[in-house]
Amino acid sequence: MRKRGYALLKKPRLRTVSVPVNRLPNLPAGTDAFLDAIVFIYAFSGHSNECHNLLRRCSTEKVCGITTLEVINEVTHRLMLAETMTKGIIKKGNGSALKGKWRDVAKLTEYWILKERIFGLNILITGSARLSVFLRHVRSRPGLTAELDNTNVLQRVKRHRINKR
């Protein structure tokens, strides 16, 4: 006889999904790519030519870049921290080091200019709720990213019904 709560003690089964990994320069034209904060940070700071070239490919619509407002907020915060460290306002790169230095932070401008460049890159920027609908749709159809053609972003949004919740 099984004891009550036995199911809670069993190890959960892990499900794995095999996803082909491509280096950024090898992404085929027409690919949909989610752009996380690190892509923008590396591209804007000059640490990665691959990230810079990926953003350039997104701006010319060779690759369809997709990101969220939350990612842009993260990029803004990290760029601001980097600027404060560069200008010697703080020594550690965390937000708590900025406590009480609001006058110095108010004078910063470089991070804001870099952040504004994101909006000129011709990428799809959406809220995380709409992105989760898109990702659910992508996961439900294997090979979907290969099927998408290189049309403009608005057609992709309509096709995937991102505006529905």
- The residue with greater pLDDT, 45 or 162, is 45
Residue range 20-34: average pLDDT?
A: 80
Check: CB of residue 29 under 8 Å from CB of residue 65: no
Q: What is the percentage of the chain residues whose pLDDT exceeds 70?
A: 64
Distance CA(77)–CA(28), nearest Å, equals 31
The structural domains of the chain, with segments of one domain joined by +, span 28-126
Give the per-residue pLDDT at 102. 84
Residue whose C-alpha is closest to residue 154's, from 135, 126, 129, 132:
126
- Kindly report, residue by residue over 43-90, the tens digit of the pLDDT: 998 999 999 999 999 999 898 898 988 999 999 989 988 889 888 888
Higher pLDDT, 107 or 143: 107
**Mean of per-residue pLDDT scores for the chain:** 75
What are the backbone dihedrals phi and psi of residue 65, each rounded to the nearest 5 degrees, phi first?
Answer: -85, 135
Does this model's pTM top 0.85? My answer is no
**What is the pLDDT at residue 127?**
78
The tokens describing 57, both together, are 């490919």
Residue 153: the pLDDT is 46
For range 140-151, the mean pLDDT: 40
CB-side neighbour CA atoms (13 Å) of 4: 0
